[in-house]
Amino acid sequence: MDSSGAFQGAAALSYARRVSAFGERPSGSAAIDSLREWIVSELKPLGGQLLQDRFAGQTPTGPVPMDNLILKFPGTSGKAIVISGHYDTKHIPMMHFVGANDGASSTAFLIELAHAIAKQKHRDDIYIVFFDGEEAVGNWTQTDSRYGSRHLVDTWSVDGTLGKVKALINVDMIGDKNLDIADDANSSQALVSLMWQTADKLGDGKYFLRQGGAIDDDHVPFANAGVNVLDIIDFDYGPNNSYWHTAGDTMDKLSAHSFQVVGDVVLAMIKELDAQP
């Protein structure tokens, strides 16, 4: 992989602002349909193979139409590296929740990452996956959450893609100005170690905590299926996590620098993983 495609944190922040402007974007809403059309319009000019994985999420309130977006940049090795995140927001009654960090940051990150990957050479297939239905419709349970990732595990198990996945790196809530990436116990230790080594090498080690607990996110269905996974998430958003799932999750809490730190680390990790057999 060459280094001609760089990640631009300022561009990612700008994308996050565009995404947030769509307003509340829960699965099945008109707003997420409009957002999806815009994401597709951003991705199509980049080349690669753009796939839409449509399904009905079986929620506590009935079936909800959902749609994972998958952009594949084909390689030649027969192996695959997956970078994922979610683009829906949680529906919170009586609250105008725009999810600048929790939803928009991962969406924006993936769009900017796609721009960078499109300019790079790679041996492995690179999949950039936008999950729908990460958020619970009611309260988070094993069956009311992560609809898109659970569905894609099932789909890729059937068509053989899952067995080709060398690593899946999921990003969530990575735009926080006060960036501190958790040490997630549900992530593969080999990938956690690679993340730390990469961040240290880039001079960004201070943003990656060496402590934390187990986090349930879109990587877990893949981990349960035996995939090497990593969740890159800042789960300390505001004092005592007080901005999470509140009306305070707005663009003024995000920074281009945080996007840049995570983008640089993820691109360097992809390069390292791509070089491995």
Please name which of 176, 192, 188, 150 lies closest in space to residue 234, comparing C-alpha atoms: 176
- CA 213 from chain centre, in angstroms, equals 19
Number of domains in the chain: 1
The answer to whether residue 126 sits within a structural domain is yes
Distances (CA, A) of 173 to 53, 60, 215, 243: 23, 25, 13, 11
The answer to whether residue 48 sits within a structural domain is yes
Percent of the chain with pLDDT over 90: 97
The answer to whether residue 13 sits within a structural domain is yes
The answer to whether residue 1 sits within a structural domain is no
By the 8 A CB rule, do 68 and 134 touch?
A: no
By the 8 A CB rule, do 1 and 274 touch?
A: yes
Percent helix, strand and coil across the chain, each to the nearest 5 = 40, 20, 40
Domain span at residue 209 reads 9-275
What is the per-residue pLDDT for 4? Answer: 56
The answer to whether residue 2 sits within a structural domain is no
User: CA 92, CA 154: separation in Å to the nearest integer?
Assistant: 29
Tens digits of residue pLDDT in 112-146: 999 999 999 999 999 999 999 999 999 999 999 99
What is the per-residue pLDDT for 71? Answer: 98
The answer to whether residue 222 sits within a structural domain is yes
Q: Is the pTM of this model over 0.95?
A: yes
The answer to whether residue 3 sits within a structural domain is no
Tens digits of residue pLDDT in 185-225: 999 999 999 999 999 999 999 999 998 899 999 999 999 99
User: Low-confidence residues of the chain, pLDDT below 70?
Assistant: 1-4
The answer to whether residue 153 sits within a structural domain is yes
Sequence-distant (6+) residues with CB within 8 A of 121 are 1, 2
CATH code (residue 116): 3.40.630.10
